[in-house]
């Protein structure tokens, strides 16, 4: 337990279950003394979250519903946060979605609707929640999103999500410029493959983890706690000079040719 985030109010979006990257982040932020506010889309995630918080002795300051596909939902979530919590200092965006059928085969087969859906949920959502959150970050703040190497390179099966993550990473840079003048920083963590609910059932996940143990400098896969600690760094004053950055938490895999 440290005091790095003592007294800081941080919104965490995207805990679906105990395997979620956002849950690893929750543990790191809680251990650093942060007050946490959560948003979920599905009722199932809400129930899992309540149980996880109870099992781990973590008290949420607030839990609100937020479907990032809807401007009304985002507005009502952040207005409830404003009413019940007031000032916030951090926002963790750990949300993505694409149609399963478009996460295999050729990218060239991506449908118009599938392309737009992946962009809307996985990239535009960061823009929309940054706009809402910045109104509550009157003491400055830090926004952190989650990305993947498929934004930078062609990675088999990642397809439409790779293009959405490229858009997300570019958004990190444009948003960083917009909100920097208010003392708000925007960064991304680019995590190596982690077995989560999203990763389950998508083609080719297993081969991605075995390549890491073979080729990454550290010869091992990463876990949710490592992403949690990197996100804690971005949330804290330790990273006060950094914005618009994409930090790889991937056992060094991205440096290998």
Q: Does 25 bind ligand NDP (CB under 6 A)?
A: no
If one asks whether residue 67 binds ligand NDP (CB under 6 A), the answer comes out as yes
- Rule CB under 6 A: say whether 116 interacts with ligand KAL: no
Residue 21 is a binding residue for ligand NDP (CB under 6 A) = yes
* Minimum gap (Å) between residue 46 Cβ and ligand NDP: 8
Give yes or no for a contact between 176 and 244, defined as CB atoms under 8 angstroms apart.
yes
Answer yes or no whether residue 155 interacts with ligand KAL by CB under 6 A: yes
Per-residue x/- mask for ligand KAL, residues 197 to 226, rule CB under 6 A? xxx--x-xx--x------------------
Cβ-proximal residues to 137 (8 Å cutoff; 6+ apart), any chain: 87, 88, 89, 91, 179, 182, 183, 184
Per annotation, catalytic residue among 148, 174, 182, 253:
148
CB nearer to ligand KAL: give 107 or 205. Answer: 205
Angle between helices 112-119 and 159-180 (to 10 degrees): 40
Secondary structure (3-state) at 62: strand
- 47 touches ligand KAL (CB under 6 A): no
Task: Name the 3-class secondary structure at 50.
Answer: helix
The three-state (H, E, C) secondary structure of 96-143, written as one string: CCCCHHHCCCCHHHCCHHHHHHHHHHHHHHHHHHHHHHHCCCECEEEE
Active-site residue 253, yes or no?
Answer: no
Out of 46, 107, 124, 158, the active site residue is 158
Q: How far apart are CA 183 and CA 195, in angstroms?
A: 35
Stretch that binds ligand NDP, among 78-86, 135-143, 146-154, 171-179 (CB under 6 A): 146-154
How many positions of this chain bind ligand KAL (CB under 6 A)? 21
Report the partner that residue 14 touches, choosing among ligand NDP, ligand KAL, none (CB closer than 5 to 8 A by kind).
ligand NDP
Other beta carbons within 10 angstroms of residue 84's beta carbon come to: 11
User: Between residues 71 and 207, which has the closer beta carbon with respect to ligand KAL?
Assistant: 207
Stretch that binds ligand NDP, among 14-22, 102-110, 180-188, 237-245 (CB under 6 A): 14-22
Q: How far apart (Å, rounded) are the C-alpha atoms in residues 59 and 6?
A: 14
CA distance 237 to 43: 34
Q: Which CB atom, from 63 or from 87, has the smaller least distance to ligand NDP?
A: 63
Contact 209, 193 (CB under 8 A): yes
Rounded CA separation 136/104 (Å)? 40
User: How far is CA 231 from each of CA 94, 154, 238, rounded to the nearest angstrom?
Assistant: 11, 25, 11
Segment near ligand NDP (CB under 6 A), from 40-48, 54-62, 76-84, 176-184?
A: 40-48
Active centre residues (catalytic) = 148, 158
Site residues (CB under 6 A) for ligand NDP?
14-16, 20-22, 40-42, 45, 66-69, 94-97, 121, 146-148, 191, 193-194, 196-199
- Contacts with ligand KAL, residue ranges (CB under 6 A): 16, 96-100, 103, 148, 150, 155, 157-158, 161, 193, 197-199, 202, 204-205, 208
């Amino acid at each position: 337990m440290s005091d790095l985030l003592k007294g800081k109010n941080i919104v965490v979006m995207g805990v679906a279950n105990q395997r979620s990257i956002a849950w690893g982040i929750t543990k790191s932020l809680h251990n650093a003394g942060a007050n946490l506010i959560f948003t979920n889309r599905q009722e199932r995630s809400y129930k899992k979250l309540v149980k996880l918080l109870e099992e781990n002795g973590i008290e949420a300051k607030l839990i609100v519903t937020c479907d990032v596909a809807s401007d009304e939902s985002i507005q009502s979530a952040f207005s409830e946060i404003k009413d019940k919590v007031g000032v916030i200092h951090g926002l963790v965006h750990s949300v993505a979605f694409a149609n399963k059928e478009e996460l295999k085969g050729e990218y060239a087969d991506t449908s118009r609707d599938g392309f737009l859906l992946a962009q809307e949920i996985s990239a535009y959502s960061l823009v929309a929640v940054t706009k809402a959150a910045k109104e509550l970050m009157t003491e400055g703040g830090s926004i952190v999103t989650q990305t993947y190497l498929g934004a930078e390179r062609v990675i088999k099966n990642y397809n439409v999500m790779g293009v959405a993550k490229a858009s997300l990473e570019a958004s990190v840079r444009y948003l960083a410029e917009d909100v920097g003048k208010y003392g708000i920083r925007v960064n991304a963590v680019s995590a190596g493959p982690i077995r989560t609910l999203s990763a389950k059932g998508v083609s080719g996940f297993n081969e991605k983890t075995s390549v890491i143990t073979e080729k990454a400098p550290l010869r091992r896969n990463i876990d949710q706690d490592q992403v949690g600690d990197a996100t804690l760094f971005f949330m804290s004053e330790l990273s006060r000079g950094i914005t618009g950055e994409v930090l790889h938490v991937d056992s060094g895999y991205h440096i290998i040719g």
